[in-house]
């Protein structure tokens, strides 16, 4: 029995469960109104979270929030490690971890991860999975992998569309099988994104920026904010663009952002001379990179704020299409922002993951360069290290048909139908 299995599971820690309840309440409130403005009655989830938080504060001799609005102010102003919760694991959160972004008053990505992990699925997470699963179902039924790939690229490259863009999308024949989904997933842009009659896109992320003051704009993507002020991209004058549409928020958060990390990696590996397939076999994994000697890497890109939750979701990369080595990749900025990110992932990684490594995108590209230069040592490999795996590493290709052994059950496969499930 591993140390992780023998020790009490922090996921079921009383105070962690309470924070999951508060995170879920924040998302419910954000779904019905601006988090800076409230209207009665509050969603039931918000009142339940407040009641539980009040009881815990009283148990600990602390003054509880006076109501739902003050609980939300806590979520925005107070790092989680400063909440009066005496059973909270001391190393689980750091000083930057909040449920609501201070500058924008939007729920943080950590808030989404806490709610999703703690309650099966938030409504938003259910929505993005439903969309992707339906696209997979339709494209598989029509034997149209190129249509699925076109759909995924659309979600990555065009989170915002003008009327002219919409006309071009309508002419893309590859999207015909999923046309009904395309028409559902784009919604009119709320007026709150507009300032002085115009909208502004982020040059890095392509999504709309949020005006947060008379002069400042805020990007909803963690990676962009980590790099500094959002660079200004397209300015869209409302009177000239016609009806402006954007992807619904769950798709922007869980598909567009991680997808941009995937396509960025695609470009870098192609530039090195590798053959790259994106979302192969209807999204068994994200990136299939083929070296000139035929050696194959399978890569799933993950962009999670909290490494412990990512480790708890770890599972072996699906076996088809076949590959020689596989790993998960996280954007480097996550590790720069949280130095224990890779160690925390490894500590919480599930046994079912069979030693699955997590690399940064920079580490993966460096390993590819080394392998192309003839290096066959550990620095040019992405597979499990002997010390990290539960058993000695084995080739990912078996003797029969050069494919890795797939030990997943049908139920597990059903939960892994697309690469966006845990992006």
What average pLDDT does the structure give for the chain?
A: 84
The pLDDT > 70 percentage for the chain reads 84
φ and ψ at 268, to 5 degrees? -65, -40
Distance CA 104, CA 218 (A): 7
User: Model confidence over 27-82: pLDDT tens digits?
Assistant: 888 877 555 555 667 777 888 889 999 999 998 899 999 999 999 999 999 999 99
pLDDT at position 89 is 84
What radius of gyration, in Å, describes the C-alpha atoms of the chain? Answer: 22
Distance CA 79, CA 59 (A): 20
pLDDT at position 223 is 79
Length reported for the chain: 423
φ and ψ at 255, to 5 degrees? -120, -55
Most confident of 2-6, 100-104, 415-419: 100-104
Q: Does residue 405 surpass a pLDDT of 70?
A: no
Query: Hey, where are the domains in the chain?
Result: 3-120, 124-248, 252-414
Comparing 255 with 386, which gets the higher pLDDT?
255
pTM exceeds 0.85, yes or no: no
DSSP 8-state class, residue 43: P
**What stretches of 147-209 adopt beta strand conformation (E)?**
160-161, 186-188, 198-202
């Amino acid at each position: 029995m591993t140390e992780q299995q023998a020790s009490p599971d922090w996921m079921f820690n009383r105070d962690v469960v309470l924070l999951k309840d508060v995170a879920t309440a924040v998302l419910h409130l954000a779904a019905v109104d601006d988090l800076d403005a409230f209207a009665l009655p509050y969603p039931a989830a918000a009142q339940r979270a407040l009641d539980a938080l009040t009881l815990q504060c009283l148990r600990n001799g602390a003054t509880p929030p006076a109501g739902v609005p003050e609980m939300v102010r806590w979520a925005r102003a107070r790092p989680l490690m400063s909440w009066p919760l005496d059973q909270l694991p001391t190393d689980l959160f750091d000083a930057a971890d909040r449920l609501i972004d201070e500058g924008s008053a939007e729920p943080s990505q950590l808030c989404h991860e806490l709610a999703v992990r703690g309650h099966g699925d938030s409504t938003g997470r259910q929505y993005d999975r439903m969309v992707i699963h339906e696209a997979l179902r339709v494209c598989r039924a029509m034997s149209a992998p190129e249509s699925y790939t076109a759909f995924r690229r659309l979600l990555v490259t065009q989170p915002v569309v003008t009327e002219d863009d919409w006309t071009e999308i309508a002419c893309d024949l590859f999207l015909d099988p999923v046309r009904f989904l395309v028409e559902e997933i784009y919604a009119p842009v709320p007026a709150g994104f507009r300032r002085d009659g115009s909208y502004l896109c982020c040059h890095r992320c392509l999504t709309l920026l949020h005006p947060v003051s008379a002069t400042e704009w805020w990007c909803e993507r963690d990676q962009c904010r980590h790099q500094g002020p959002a660079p200004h991209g397209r300015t869209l004058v409302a009177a000239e663009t016609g009806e402006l549409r954007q992807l619904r928020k769950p798709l922007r958060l869980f598909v567009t952002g991680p997808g941009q990390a995937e396509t960025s990696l695609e470009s870098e590996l192609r530039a090195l001379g590798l053959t790259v397939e994106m979302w192969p076999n209807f999204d068994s994994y994200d990136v299939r990179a083929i070296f000139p000697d035929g050696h194959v890497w399978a890569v799933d890109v993950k962009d999670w704020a909290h490494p412990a939750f990512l480790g708890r979701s770890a599972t072996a990369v699906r076996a088809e299409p076949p590959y020689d080595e596989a790993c998960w990749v996280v954007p480097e900025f996550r590790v720069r922002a949280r130095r224990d990110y890779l160690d925390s992932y490894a500590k919480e990684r599930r046994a079912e993951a069979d030693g699955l490594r997590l690399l940064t995108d920079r580490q993966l590209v460096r390993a590819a360069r080394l392998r192309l230069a003839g290096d066959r040592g550990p620095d040019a490999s992405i597979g499990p290290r002997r010390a990290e795996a539960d058993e000695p590493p084995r080739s990912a290709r078996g003797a029969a048909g050069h494919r890795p052994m797939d030990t997943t059950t049908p139920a597990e496969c059903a939960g892994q139908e697309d690469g966006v499930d845990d992006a």
